A and B are shown apart, each in its own frame.
Chain A
């Protein structure tokens, strides 16, 4: 056992693709729920890279960081969904281009 069974590069490319998808989604989608989901995708992409790297070097750090990311993501979803509810209530929409009260 031990070591990574598939080439490292493949995993990293996949993680990079996932990250880019998330990033593009964050920048392009207007709906706050999709933006949150994009964030999740980005988090998971980086988590994937960590896990792969942990396996590659045979260290537990990758998994530890994965668990950390998991809990951060959970917390973020909790706060994020709370925000979504509030936004829905205040602005009667989930379109973030409409909710721009911070405009200077």
Chain B
């Protein structure tokens, strides 16, 4: 029940924040903050202490940490079915924490209808939490759409100069691919009906379904497209730079920090386990797209002069690693992909907050008009440096652990692709340092007056720095949380695990074309 309460708390918090504007324009942000903190505390209190000691089977309701099923449209086998395991817990906590960061980053930025703004923010969080918790595919699709609409409004109403175009592009890309997923969901449910005689949209019932290979492949593609558009993977990423550039700071933080992760989560939770054979057949293409994204995003990031656009392309590059890790489908690579979801969420959220702070102060995102900012704002410079080197994968910070594990896992499967993706480490250094040079180093404009980070902003930044250092030096808690889930998912997919890859390394190496 606690999961439903969590989502309801957020939805109600949004309504309350919206209406509280009538009392005082400063109230909504406090209400929003309160509802997110409240949900977080509530969630942490309701986690059961005991976890299954055996290898969890995702098809068994008792193997989940929390499980809730309420009939909704029983006639079609649709239920309000939520479930939580370590992976969802991790992502929900990340969502709520980044929600706090998003609220903090827009604390004094919004003058127009602050109530509605905060409401949309919190509703997005509710939608994302729903996506991470739903295990009924129909419900999942519902939440998938729910998180889309408030995000669309955030961009379309509070965005920058070209907001309508960006919001529309974001909406159409996500919506069109989402419809493909809906079709795939319905096809899958009908297949379930045909083979078991019972219509059900439940993930637990549909797992392990025997599918006609051809049909399975096409249905898998429906899911894959929806999730890779969201991820985003090359070549479906073009909505992202526009949406990020035009979104208000809080919108960019949410978009980069958590909305992209729903795509990765969908691939990991639904796309690969539901269609194991088709996915393994498709894996080389998916990994190719991932590697292409790593390189392509990095090259384009280097050419940008807009701070936010640069960070947006760096996201494309980093999410390529997630795709590589997921389809390499061994323990190391999967853990790496999960780590990347968390670490990239934090580091990119921080960089977007930085971009928002710069825009708020300088009224431009164009780095050609910055330069030498370190002189005026050393705290901002230091923070930017920290997150820039985090994003280029400096060991000791979370992103390195993620990228290292992904590449290490990938190397056992596809050494050639690992080499190509490793080139992304070089290009990441090129664009990150170029960003620092353009914005913070160089000759300062002595005329420019600009305030440095204040205490609120420094607190948010310090929290994210500590999180990245923690993830980089002692990632074990995160790894332990995800490990049973990944083991459970891996046993569903035959024919791909690290053990065999390690036992016959020479063959793999020879086959990989290194």
* Direct touching of A and B (C-beta under 8 Å): no
